[in-house]
């Protein structure tokens, strides 16, 4: 496993914890836009990381090699 992949997986874990913590802080009613914006940003970054990791896991795909 490359250092880049380890870094991505560590960041993914951190982001998932942030998403869980944010979801606990969001009130069930009258959600402030700042909560929604932060959640959207975290989820977008999580999706980017998952996409990067998926690309690295594809057989025959050499992207990320030599990093």
CA dihedral (9, 17, 30, 32) positive or negative? negative
Q: What is the pLDDT of residue 62?
A: 55
Q: What is the pLDDT of residue 63?
A: 53
- Is the Cβ–Cβ distance between 36 and 28 less than 8 Å? no
- The list of the chain residues with pLDDT below 70 reads 60-67
> In the numeric block, which tokens belong to residue 53?
């990791």
Q: Give the SS3 label for residue 28.
A: coil
Distance CA 5, CA 7 (A): 5
How many whole angstroms separate alpha carbon 55 and alpha carbon 51? 6
């Amino acid at each position: 496993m490359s250092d880049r992949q380890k870094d991505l997986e560590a960041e993914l874990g951190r982001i998932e914890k942030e998403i869980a913590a944010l979801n606990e802080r969001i009130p069930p009613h009258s959600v402030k836009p700042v909560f929604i914006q932060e959640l959207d940003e975290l989820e977008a970054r999580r999706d980017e990381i998952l996409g990067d990791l998926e690309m690295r896991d594809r057989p025959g795909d050499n992207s990320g090699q030599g990093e």
